[in-house]
Structure 1
Amino acid sequence: MPLFFEETSWRFWDQSLSAKSRSALESFAADDTLCELVGSGKSAPTVRTWVHDNTVVLGIQDHRLPHIDEGMDALKAHGFKPIVRNSGGLAVVLDAGVLNISLVLSEKDNAIDISTGYELMLDLVEELFPEAAIDAYEIVGSYCPGSYDLSIGGRKFAGISQRRIRRGIAVQVYLCVDGSGSERAKVIRDFYKAGLQGEETKFIYPEIKPETMASLSELLGRNITVQEVVIDLHALMGAPAPMPLQPNETELYGFYLDRVVERNRKMLERSLE
């Protein structure tokens, strides 16, 4: 068990099945809610697992593409629904083979810098896959590249981001567990191709090379399912009793959901003006 699981009691909220057919905006609202609850000491530190079907989550820069409407049409042609996240980063793919894990921590008593948050998530992923030699550095040619891209043998299977609200921190990782990493990358490649149409922009968008990405099943040479990883994670935590949002927490969730839905609406409308 990782040291940070041993030092305190944890809340576990599994939405790997229940949220699949719902909008990923609900998950961003859930993490914002947990940030405030955990940051204020009204909730224990929390691990939340979540999966959403066929969604591409766009970053703030993505919606500024010169031909964003054509870009989103390309995503829809691949069967993906575009939304805009409420934080930084660039486009990422969510589908039934991608497990998202949110690690929600409090800074109420002790500050947690950005690099520490990334290292905690890296430690957790390494505990889940002890047989893997995982590297953390930017994989050029991947989608949503960053200094904490997680890779095996130079092929990326995960990316880490952070969200900070009211002394709470949500460290989020997407794990491409099964399916084809390169096929997911092709979706994002086509999005940028349609959204740029060869135009030069001030912001440099990634040039996607599908061969730089793979799933854990592909990289480790064995069939791995999302549910297996959720079960392993739950066991790693010491199998705490599941605790979704409680009745006294749902009003706060409603506030954050309204906020992310409205922000997404405005961003998409602005993209299409």
Structure 2
Amino acid sequence: MSELLKQTEWRFIDQSGINPHFHALQSFAIDDTLCRSVGGRYSPPTVRAWVHSPTLVLGIQDTKLPDLQAGLHFLREKGYEGLVRNSGGLAVALDEGVLNLSLIFPDTEKGIDINRGYDAMWDLIQRMFADFDCEIKAGEIAGSYCPGSYDLSIDGRKFAGISQRRIRKAVAVQIYLCVTGSGQARAELVKEFYEHAQYQESLKFIFPEIQTKVMASLSELLGVAFSIQAVMQRFLQVMKEKCDTLSVSQLRDTELDWFHEYYERMMERNDKILTYREP
């Protein structure tokens, strides 16, 4: 197992239950808060699980789409909310069938090599599904949404993507896992968003040519009707095996002040970028 996963203590924050009042902007503010806490040694290494109602999370590059407002209008018609995260990458679809996990480590004096963070998450997912006769590969899946070198796939179909954020002497490794539902339907949503936002007219940035059939959920790939909680049980089993203490927690004390600071910052950024203004 990855050495990064072997910690004396893991702090666990569980936000995997469906809560219509839990906004995805809060999630990104929480992870930044935890980076500050873990990087400052106020908190032990922390893992967080989170699920959101239908949301298309945009990367900074997506805000440069030629007709972003038309894309956002399309999302609203489909019952999705659009927001911009505080990191790079491209659009990712979240809904009640997508489980997100964040692993937050303190950075070392020499620094954690970027691939070690990715490999730790890949190792975790492999171990969570080790009882299945399948190979979970890491590598870019052409035609997927938000393609990257650590796309996770089975038989050439992507079910997860990993990203990293490094701030405040900490590393947050984040993954979205398409657990249930149709991966192809999620890809179709993202594809249509880009089409409405006129991605082909962009002269400065290249956006993905999405091929919907390369996306799938774990339930589709493994032939098992997984629930989010069933996958959570697999996750907790792996984590408990490799640490002395897994302590359940929420944000506390000074962290709550930090959270409000980061959340306000996220809201201000989104209001500035996404609010329609007359030319």
Normalising to structure 1: TM-score of the pair? 0.95
Q: Equivalent residue for 1:24? A: 24
Contiguous gaps of at least 5 residues in structure 2? none
Q: Equivalent residue for 1:267? A: 273
> Are residues 1:254 and 2:264 paired?
no
**Aligned 8 A contact 1:107 1:169 in 2:** yes
Task: Find 1:189's aligned residue among 188, 191, 198.
Answer: 191
CA shift, 1:267, in A, is: 1.6
Q: Equivalent residue for 1:112? A: 112
CA shift, 1:165, in A, is: 0.8
Q: Equivalent residue for 1:93? A: 93
Q: Deviations over 1:155-209 (max 9, x none)?
A: 0000001111110111000000010000000000000111116424221110111
Between the aligned partners of 2:45 and 2:70, the Cα distance in structure 1 is: 41
CA shift, 1:248, in A, is: 3.3
CA shift, 1:269, in A, is: 3.2
Between the aligned partners of 1:118 and 1:208, the Cα distance in structure 2 is: 24
Residue 34 to residue 197, structure 1, CA distance change in 2 (3 Å): closer
Mean Cα deviation higher: 66-75 or 91-100: 66-75
Residue 101 of structure 1 aligns to a residue whose secondary structure is strand
Normalising to structure 2: TM-score of the pair? 0.93
Residue 13 of structure 1 aligns to a residue whose secondary structure is strand
Task: Find 2:138's aligned residue among 123, 136, 139.
Answer: 136
CA shift, 1:247, in A, is: 2.7
Residue 185 of structure 1 aligns to a residue whose secondary structure is helix
Task: Find 2:155's aligned residue among 148, 153, 156.
Answer: 153
Q: Equivalent residue for 1:52? A: 52
Between the aligned partners of 2:24 and 2:163, the Cα distance in structure 1 is: 16
Amino acid at match of 1:257: Y
CA shift, 1:8, in A, is: 2.0
Between the aligned partners of 2:278 and 2:45, the Cα distance in structure 1 is: 39
Contiguous gaps of at least 5 residues in structure 1? none
Q: Equivalent residue for 1:84? A: 84
Identity of aligned residues (%): 50
Task: Find 2:226's aligned residue among 221, 224, 227.
Answer: 224
Amino acid at match of 2:34: L
> Are residues 1:11 and 2:11 paired?
yes
Mean Cα deviation higher: 82-91 or 230-239: 230-239
Between the aligned partners of 1:34 and 1:19, the Cα distance in structure 2 is: 21
Residue 218 to residue 143, structure 1, CA distance change in 2 (3 Å): same
Q: Once superposed, what is the RMSD of the aligned Cα atoms?
A: 1.8
CA shift, 1:241, in A, is: 2.9
Residue 14 to residue 56, structure 1, CA distance change in 2 (3 Å): same
CA shift, 1:103, in A, is: 0.3
**Aligned 8 A contact 2:4 2:117 in 1:** no
Mean Cα deviation higher: 117-126 or 70-79: 70-79
Q: Deviations over 1:207-264 (max 9, x none)?
A: 1111010000000011111111112212222172311111332111111111111111
Q: Deviations over 1:44-86 (max 9, x none)?
A: 0000000000000011111111111111111112110000011
Residue 162 of structure 1 aligns to a residue whose secondary structure is strand
Task: Find 1:208's aligned residue among 207, 210, 216.
Answer: 210
Amino acid at match of 1:265: D
Task: Find 1:244's aligned residue among 216, 239, 250.
Answer: 250
**Aligned 8 A contact 1:68 1:195 in 2:** yes
Between the aligned partners of 2:125 and 2:201, the Cα distance in structure 1 is: 38
Residue 216 of structure 2 aligns to a residue whose secondary structure is coil
Between the aligned partners of 1:124 and 1:197, the Cα distance in structure 2 is: 35
Aligned residue pairs total 273
Q: Equivalent residue for 2:35? A: 35
Between the aligned partners of 2:108 and 2:278, the Cα distance in structure 1 is: 41
